[in-house]
Amino acid sequence: MIRIDTETGLIREARQVPSPNCDERPPGCEPELIIIHGISLPPGEFGGQWIDRFFTNCLDPADHPYFREIVELRVSSHLLIRRDGELVQYVPLWKRAWHAGVSCYQDRDHCNDFSIGIELEGVDTIAYADEQYDLLCLTIAALQRAIPSLANAPIVGHEDIAPDRKTDPGPAFDWERFRAKIGVGDVD
């Protein structure tokens, strides 16, 4: 079971790694959209401390050549689901995480303002783990129970809100399997 403290916006079962890359949502904005992402650092590698370090601005560019390209970025996500099923939280649910970038959903720009970002550790071309699907569904169900504005919220991929820039979670994410598991016919 996933339990959300509705006062703090923290998930009790998640390992907490506070990111400075967040701020207040604009007045009147509540989470109304769930965005699924895919991430691996370095690209194509799983495990390790790199995602935590990236979202907390602690990447050392000397640790991998790719890190030199991203070390100046200031990004975060509310949650990460690792391949082994670990849940990590970087930003309280009530705050605006910086995960969507330049984005638009149904003619509404700035998706960070009104969304929850969930990263899955993975890449576009490698199937996501069973544990990730299980925990993703449990987490979304908990979000929908705890946050009224998410009760019937659309669930989309990063590729859906930023199609010219992003491809994640990509073809490796089985939307049909996810829809069947979460018990909805159409998530977007």
pLDDT tens profile 67-97: 999 999 999 999 999 999 999 999 999 999 9
Question: Quick check: 102 and 92 in contact, CB under 8 A?
Answer: no
pLDDT band at 184 (very low <50, low <70, confident <90, very high): low
Tokens of 28: 């009147």
* H or E segment to which residue 24 belongs: strand 22-24
What is the total residue count of the chain?
188
pLDDT (tens digit, 9 = 90+) per residue, 52-71?
999 999 999 999 999 999 99
Active site amino acids: 119
Categorize the per-residue pLDDT at 186 as very low, low, confident or very high, splitting at 50, 70 and 90: very low
What confidence tens digit (pLDDT) does each residue in 121-176 have? Answer: 999 999 999 999 999 999 999 999 999 999 999 999 999 999 999 999 999 999 99
The pTM (predicted TM-score) of the whole model is 0.96
Q: What stretches of the chain adopt beta strand conformation (E)?
A: 4-5, 10-11, 15-16, 22-24, 33-39, 79-81, 87-89, 95-97, 104-105, 108-109, 115-121, 155-157
CATH number of 4-182: 3.40.80.10
